[in-house]
């Protein structure tokens, strides 16, 4: 009796195993058993399947902090677009004046050279510059420092003397500005520097 039961159990196991093995063989040789996918080779040399998921767009509202940041950034960008050509012109004119002043030691002759260019500058730029806002004026002064390496106070002092420089500095302070402000392209004025480089490419100053 025990032998008969044992034989029955063995027979059932053999039949089950045989059926499972046939299913595995059928799956191995199926029509759609192979799907081509991308492959990724690991640094160790193993090859594993790789797939790409479709892009997902995530929409979110800007926080007040970022709204203010982008508003300030847009205002700065617009100011640079307006004032950058003036900064380039100031640099070009200063270089020209400095060339003319080389080896000129007579004070009257130096004043005459400076005064002649000053009249040209007033004729060309006075109307345009008076249309700038106080904020645009501040941006222009920073750009002039960037282009010349001197702040506006130093430029006025060199060409017009200490008294004139002190007068215009006092006037600038009254309007919430400062002729002595410098340009920090790495930290404080990093955003300005990025925008200026884009403007330079736009105007053809950088290729």
Domain ranges of the chain: 64-203
pLDDT of residue 31: 64
- Please state the length of the chain: 207
pTM: 0.64
Residue 192 in this model has a pLDDT that exceeds 90: yes
Q: How many CB atoms neighbour CB 146 within 10 A?
A: 19
* CA dist 53 → 35, 39, 50 (Å): 17, 14, 10
Cα–Cα dist 154/134, whole Å: 20
Range list of H helices, the chain: 2-28, 64-101, 107-129, 134-148, 152-160, 162-174, 190-203
pLDDT class of 61 with cuts at 50, 70, 90: confident
- In the predicted model, what is the mean pLDDT of residues 100-109? 80
∠ CA 161-180-204, nearest 5°, is 100
Q: Which of 21-25, 134-138, 166-170 has the lowest mean pLDDT?
A: 21-25
Residue 73 in this model has a pLDDT that exceeds 90: yes
Residue 147 structure tokens: 């282009």
pLDDT of residue 24: 46
Q: How far, in whole angstroms, is CA 140 from its chain's centroid?
A: 19
Here the contacts of 90-98 (C-beta below 8 Å, separation 24 or greater) are 90/144, 90/147, 90/148, 91/144, 91/147, 91/148, 93/117, 93/121, 94/148, 94/155, 97/159
C-alpha R_g of the chain: 38
pLDDT of residue 75: 95
Residue 77 in this model has a pLDDT that exceeds 90: yes
């Amino acid at each position: 009796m025990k032998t008969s039961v044992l034989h029955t159990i063995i027979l059932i196991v053999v039949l089950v195993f045989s059926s499972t093995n046939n299913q595995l063989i059928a799956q191995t040789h199926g029509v759609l058993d192979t799907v081509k996918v991308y492959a990724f080779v690991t640094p160790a040399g193993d090859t594993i399947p790789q797939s790409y998921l479709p892009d997902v767009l995530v929409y979110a509202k800007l926080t007040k902090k970022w709204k203010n940041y982008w508003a300030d950034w847009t205002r700065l960008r617009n100011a640079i677009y307006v004032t950058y050509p003036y900064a380039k012109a100031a640099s070009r004119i200063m270089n020209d004046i400095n060339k003319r002043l080389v080896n000129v030691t007579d004070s009257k002759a130096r004043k005459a050279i400076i005064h002649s260019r000053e009249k040209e500058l007033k004729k060309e730029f006075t109307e345009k510059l008076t249309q700038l806002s106080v904020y645009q004026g501040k941006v222009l002064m920073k750009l002039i420092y960037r282009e010349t390496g001197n702040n506006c106070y130093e430029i006025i002092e060199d060409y017009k003397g200490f008294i004139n420089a002190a007068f215009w500095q006092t006037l600038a302070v009254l309007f919430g500005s400062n002729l002595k402000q410098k340009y920090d392209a790495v930290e404080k004025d990093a955003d300005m520097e990025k925008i200026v480089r884009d403007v330079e490419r736009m105007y053809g100053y950088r290729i």
